[in-house]
């Protein structure tokens, strides 16, 4: 990022703010934004910021980039809902009964939010900016394909400790 302006990062579908807050704490000079369509989730996010005394995050209510209008970011991160609508009923009860359905439902094929994020990303990303998303099991290949359809370049896929392709990094 250029030296004069702080690195600006947005966490889409921030939920309780875990990713945005972890980044903000570890990058005290960065400017973090978290957006979510759930006001309830954002209340938790604000509370978590207060408890941890993190001041460099702004949480905004609305879908994806909608609340940040024309802002441009160095990095876009997201752990969006990625469960196929039809699979929600078969999830473990502790997930199915605890998580709000909106936090899980990624549409018919589970990939709805990736399409939305990648289709809008170019308008909100600096040249050479990065998009880092969490993927559901078996989705990484589809996600890189979606990225390419929006002229974004997949850089790498990172596996989690269980060997599942979990993180997709796109430029």
Per-residue pLDDT of 55-71, as tens digits, reads 999 999 999 999 999 99
For the beta carbon of residue 1, count every other beta carbon within 10 angstroms. 15
pLDDT digits (tens, 9 = 90+) for 72-119: 999 999 999 988 999 988 988 888 888 888 888 999 999 999 999 999
Q: Judge residue 130's burial from the number of C-beta atoms within 10 Å of its C-beta, 0-12 exposed, 13-18 middle, 19 or more buried.
A: middle
Between 125 and 93, whose confidence is greater? 125
**pLDDT the model gives residue 4:** 65
């Amino acid at each position: 990022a250029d030296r004069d302006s702080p690195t600006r990062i947005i966490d889409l579908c921030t939920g309780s703010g875990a990713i945005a807050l972890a980044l903000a704490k570890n990058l005290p000079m960065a400017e973090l934004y978290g957006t979510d369509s759930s006001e309830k989730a954002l209340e938790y996010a604000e509370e978590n910021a207060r408890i941890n005394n993190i001041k460099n995050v702004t949480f905004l209510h609305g879908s994806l980039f909608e609340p940040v209008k024309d802002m441009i970011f160095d990095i876009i991160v997201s752990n969006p809902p990625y469960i196929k609508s039809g699979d929600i009923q078969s999830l473990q009860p502790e997930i199915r009964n605890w998580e709000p359905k909106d936090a899980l439902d990624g549409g018919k094929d589970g990939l709805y939010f990736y399409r939305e994020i990648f289709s809008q990303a170019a308008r909100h990303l600096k040249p050479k900016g990065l998009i880092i998303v969490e993927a559901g099991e078996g989705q990484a290949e589809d996600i890189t394909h979606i990225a390419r359809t929006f002229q974004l370049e997949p850089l790498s896929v990172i596996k989690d400790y269980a060997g599942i392709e979990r993180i997709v990094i796109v430029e």
